Amino acid sequence: MTKETTPSCRLYLITPPRLEPQGFAETLKAALGAGDVAFLIDQHV
Protein backbone atom coordinates (compact mmCIF):
# COMPACT_ATOMS: atom_id res chain seq x y z
CA MET A 1 0.00 0.00 0.00
CA THR A 2 1.17 3.48 -0.77
CA LYS A 3 0.70 6.44 1.51
CA GLU A 4 -2.17 7.69 -0.66
CA THR A 5 -4.16 4.48 -0.15
CA THR A 6 -3.38 3.89 3.53
CA PRO A 7 -6.36 4.98 5.64
CA SER A 8 -5.58 7.33 8.49
CA CYS A 9 -6.87 7.13 12.02
CA ARG A 10 -9.69 9.53 12.94
CA LEU A 11 -10.97 10.41 16.40
CA TYR A 12 -14.53 10.23 17.73
CA LEU A 13 -14.99 12.50 20.75
CA ILE A 14 -17.90 12.20 23.19
CA THR A 15 -18.56 14.84 25.83
CA PRO A 16 -19.46 13.80 29.37
CA PRO A 17 -23.19 13.97 30.26
CA ARG A 18 -22.56 16.78 32.76
CA LEU A 19 -19.86 19.39 32.39
CA GLU A 20 -18.98 22.98 33.17
CA PRO A 21 -18.69 24.65 29.74
CA GLN A 22 -16.09 27.19 30.89
CA GLY A 23 -13.81 24.56 32.43
CA PHE A 24 -14.35 22.08 29.64
CA ALA A 25 -13.23 24.50 26.91
CA GLU A 26 -9.49 23.91 27.47
CA THR A 27 -9.95 20.13 27.62
CA LEU A 28 -11.93 20.17 24.37
CA LYS A 29 -9.36 22.43 22.71
CA ALA A 30 -6.58 19.96 23.60
CA ALA A 31 -8.62 16.98 22.37
CA LEU A 32 -9.41 18.70 19.06
CA GLY A 33 -5.71 19.41 18.58
CA ALA A 34 -4.72 15.79 19.22
CA GLY A 35 -5.54 14.52 15.75
CA ASP A 36 -8.04 14.33 12.92
CA VAL A 37 -11.49 14.51 14.58
CA ALA A 38 -14.25 12.81 12.61
CA PHE A 39 -17.11 13.45 15.06
CA LEU A 40 -17.85 15.33 18.27
CA ILE A 41 -20.92 13.96 20.04
CA ASP A 42 -22.26 16.45 22.59
CA GLN A 43 -24.32 14.50 25.11
CA HIS A 44 -24.44 16.98 27.98
CA VAL A 45 -27.90 18.12 29.00
Query: How confident is the model over 15-25, as a mean pLDDT?
Result: 88
pLDDT tens string 22-36: 888 999 999 999 999
pLDDT tens digits for 34-44?
999 999 999 87
Backbone angles phi, psi at 11, to 5 degrees: -95, 145
Mark 2-16 as b/e (b = at least 16 C-beta within 10 Å).
eeeeeeeeeeeeebe
pLDDT band per the 50, 70, 90 thresholds, residue 45: low
SS (H, E, C) 1-45: CCCCCCCCCCEEEECCCCCCHHHHHHHHHHHHCCCCEEEEECCCC
Number of domains in the chain: 1
Structural domain boundaries, residue 5? 1-45
Q: What pTM does this model have?
A: 0.65
- Closest to 35 (Cα-Cα) out of 12, 15, 19: 12
